[in-house]
Structure 1
């Protein structure tokens, strides 16, 4: 299948589904499509709650590797890493509560998306990894979202153990997932929870969203400052050599 980001409205639920054949990784164009879709559902008065999900076995492999290896200047580098900054800020600013439905593994920016959701339901297959240090950069853009969700100590453990996966159980215990269910129960569990949440007073939900995200207004500048750090590091000899080895 070709890559896509789609949305549908069903019984006060706005359901966003994304897919990319490379492990549900995100090229820049598709990241922007996700931002636009989030903004559209935010403005839709028929939507009370948003469910974010992906097709396939993996939830999200992060940013596009092909675009990453093609970066050769700071402007392009900052723009590339700003892609997930745009998504996280769109999720943060969205007036609707967002539920992440996580069926499989997540890497890098995928972990950032889960962290930026207001509630995440994972399966026992939904392991996570932040592998950025292995190629000479770091998860700078997504760090505020991940640290906010699992705490600074767990964020450090996840980031510094960059070569290894953390189990879904570990992520659940650290607070990334609010629920951990068998894969076969994911659809029903998510639908039941989302439908119940959407039945509540929309004004109360919108106010709760503001409360949950208080003290994050500085992310409108912070995440792009972090994108510039990554954009600078990706031009380093260390990263270029690491990417060349990985590509081979």
Structure 2
């Protein structure tokens, strides 16, 4: 295991910090540990809100698709991507509000992890990228549902179909992030927002969140099934192999629609 998780207490706020050097790639094990921690905090009556953050330059550079073993996600079975999405779905079972502190790139699954949170505080250096079509692939992590829910269908379609990098200022304008602050103020700003949430009655806060996110778990579950099926069909294509190579070599893909 190369990743680490650290849990810090700040009054009624819990700060969950993950690292997986050098790019904070998402793996089955990392998502499992994050989900396990979030679900355990549901039983911690002293915890009323959570900050999700990472150490390092990127927030999360997504799954490492360049690495072939385990599909780049560290799975152990015949279908590592399904394992990956099973752990992603568990995040949506957690009951307490989450504020993501995004200091750098949130790419692919990293974008999905940021969008899972109730709020996002970002630094100007943050970049939000749904790079799936650049890989000749289908979006995953439930983003086909969660991104339109957050941004509206039009802006979500723009992100998903173009693989465009959305920088901090534009992300703020779009409503992809809730506040943009200098890098050295990022973590404290996220903690302040979480503390503001924690000032409310915890039962009322959780009940309100449950209503606001009504049906989200079921929608993400159904979307992950569809995304996984589409990705399964695209995985063996020449274009997907070329997309992975092109991204690794930092050049446009030379696709042939096969």
TM-score normalised according to structure 2 size: 0.85
Residues 183-227 of structure 1 show CA distances to partners (whole Å, capped at 9, x for unaligned) of 122122122221121121001110111121113223233313322
In the TM superposition, structure 1's runs of 4+ consecutive aligned residues that sit over 6 Å from their partners are none
Give the number of equivalent residue pairs.
Answer: 244
CA contact (8 A) 2:108 2:131 kept: yes
Q: Secondary structure at the match of 1:242?
A: helix
Residues 129-187 of structure 1 show CA distances to partners (whole Å, capped at 9, x for unaligned) of 1111112102143221111111111111112222x422111111111111111112212
Q: Give the drift of 1:22.
A: 3.3
Q: 1:107 to 1:81 in 2, by over 3 A?
A: farther
Matched residues in 1 for 2:77 and 2:235: separation? 10
Q: 1:95 to 1:239 in 2, by over 3 A?
A: same
Q: 1:47 to 1:147 in 2, by over 3 A?
A: same
Gap runs ≥5 in structure 2:
250-258
Matched, 1:144 2:145: yes
CA contact (8 A) 2:28 2:87 kept: no
Matched, 1:18 2:27: no
Matched residues in 2 for 1:70 and 1:204: separation? 42
The answer for the alignment partner of 1:83 in structure 2 is 84
The answer for the alignment partner of 2:60 in structure 1 is 60
Q: 1:49 to 1:156 in 2, by over 3 A?
A: same
- Aligned alpha-carbon RMSD (Å): 2.4
Gap runs ≥5 in structure 1:
none
Q: Which has the higher contact order (CA 8 A, sep 6+)?
A: 1
The answer for the alignment partner of 2:238 in structure 1 is 237
CA contact (8 A) 1:82 1:224 kept: no
TM-score normalised according to structure 1 size: 0.88
- Within 5 Å, which residues of 2 pair with 1:199-218? 199-216=199-216, 217-218=218-219
Q: Secondary structure at the match of 1:221?
A: helix
